[in-house]
Amino acid sequence: MSLALNIDHSSAPRPAPSGRTPIVGLSKAEIAGKLGEMGLSERDQRMRASQLWNWVYVNGVTDFDRMANISKGLRAELAAAFDVSRPEIVSEQVSNDGTRKWLFRFRDPEHPNMPPVEVETVYIPESDRGTLCVSSQVGCTLTCSFCHTGTQKLVRNLTAGEILAQVMMARERLGDFPGGVRPTDGLVPAGESRAITNIVMMGMGEPLYNYDNVKKALLIASDGAGLSISKRRITLSTSGVVPKIGPTGDEIGVMLAISLHAVRDDLRDVLVPINKKWPLKELLEACRTYPGVSNAKRITFEYVMLKDINDSDADAKELVRLLAKIPAKINLIPFNPWPGSNYQCSDWDRIESFADIVNRAGYASPVRTPRGRDILAACGQLKSETERLKKKDRDAFML
Ligand code: SAH
Ligand code: SF4
């Protein structure tokens, strides 16, 4: 595959004022371009860009001096041009079920004087897989009424490098890079060579409102010469940004999940307010025509179980009816409470009765087991302390 085709100019990096460009998140073509500015021949640009990708993504190297196939002189020049360091970890918590949550701190490479932002990333180990739940934004512009992230105003979009850095850091902490050491507290899947086998864009933020950066990050994550995680093992969840659903299938090609949560527009308008802009009919039409959708590549519909709100048998029957013509999987998510939330999780026998109707319609094992609730790491519980600055203060930092 030609990497030049993947350049996304709207998210192209600009050098930081320090002059050092963060290397994680750059396509090979972008690295080659920078190497051209440093005077390397076209052939060398391509070769060195491939070597750099390999050191960074395959070997997880964070020091140019470890790049043994690059001469000392060039290593020094590279170290002056590029930044290979990792972000700061503010905290790492391990739940009693083995789920792990990190709080990462990122400095804006283009505005190093701006206060840093903080985001959460969660690792969910199971016996046969390990899933990393990655954030795309700090906060969210949307205000789904049952979601903790929705109470944090959008501070900013994460860059492609910051989205990938979450995966790189998690890989490092879980001993996934060559020579790495597995942690002894918490679990990793048995019999897998990697602790992280799957990525879900289900952390903080709406990934399709940060489309260009998410696309760039996921194309590097799935590239065989990059992080090499198959597109079938990457799932992007959206609350329903309809115009970006088609392009997600065409240009990124990952698995899609839809935060449905209600089967009637009047209720979905309240639970997932983006529904007022793109109602159910338009959302489901975009799913029916999702590029690449098939019985082997189904769309996951997420449905949070809210007591006495959306959990009746009639809702379950309508859910099955609505999805009849779409290759679909259904994921019932027991509501995870958070400080100040106004909803309750449906009772267990209600969830079972709802799940029975869904099961009888041919959808297997639809209930998602809550993980990491004790450390506020479960679906919809993520939030960081970072606050949006007033415009006046932002402008002052941007100078
Ligand atoms: N913004 C995207 C990505 C976040 S994914 C989206 O909304 O799809 C997080 C998933 O958890 C979404 O399906 C979201 O609706 C769901 N969720 C949010 N709050 C929750 C809560 N308190 N309990 C259970 N699920 C929740
Ligand atoms: Fe944002 Fe998704 Fe939470 Fe809605 S559910 S507020 S879109 S993060």
Which residues lie across from 234 on neighbouring strands? 199
Which residues lie across from 104 on neighbouring strands? 89, 119
Pocket test for ligand 2, best of 143, 144, 260, 301 (most atoms within 8 A of CB): 144
Cα separation, 238 vs 244, whole angstroms: 10
For residue 189, the model assigns a pLDDT of: 81
SS3 160: helix
SS3 69: coil
Cα separation, 12 vs 30, whole angstroms: 8
Residue 281: CB partners within 8 Å, gap ≥ 6? none
Which residues lie across from 120 on neighbouring strands? 103
| Spacing, Cα 236 to ligand 2 middle (Å) | 13
Pocket test for ligand 1, best of 333, 335, 346 (most atoms within 8 A of CB): 333
Cα separation, 190 vs 224, whole angstroms: 23
Pocket test for ligand 1, best of 157, 208, 259 (most atoms within 8 A of CB): 259
Question: Which atom of ligand 2 is the closest one to the Cα of 259?
Answer: 5
pTM of the model: 0.92
Cα separation, 336 vs 78, whole angstroms: 46
Question: Which atom of ligand 2 is the closest one to the Cα of 147?
Answer: 3
Amino acid of residue 171: R
**Number of neighbours of residue 233 by Cβ within 10 angstroms:** 17
Angstrom distances, CA of residue 188 to CA of 128, 174, 191: 9, 8, 9
DSSP 10-64: GG-----TTSPEE-TT--HHHHHHHHHHTT--HHHHHHHHHHHHIIIIIS----G
Q: What is the pLDDT along the chain (399 residues), one digit of tens a residue?
A: 222 222 233 344 445 556 789 999 999 999 999 999 999 999 999 999 999 999 999 999 999 999 999 999 999 999 999 999 999 999 999 998 899 999 999 988 778 788 899 999 999 999 889 999 999 999 999 999 999 988 889 999 999 999 999 999 999 999 999 999 888 876 778 777 799 999 999 999 999 999 999 999 999 999 999 999 999 999 999 999 999 999 999 999 999 999 999 999 999 999 999 999 999 999 999 999 999 999 999 999 999 999 999 999 999 999 999 999 999 999 999 999 888 899 999 999 999 999 999 999 999 868 988 888 888 888 888 888 887 766 666 665 554
| Spacing, Cα 147 to ligand 1 middle (Å) | 6
**Number of neighbours of residue 154 by Cβ within 10 angstroms:** 18
The catalytic residue among 118, 120, 206, 302 is 120
| Spacing, Cα 100 to ligand 1 middle (Å) | 18
User: In terms of Cα–Cα distance, which of 184, 82, 190 is closest to 129?
Assistant: 190
Among protein residues, the one whose CA lies closest to atom 15 of ligand 1: 259
Residue 120 annotated to the active site: yes
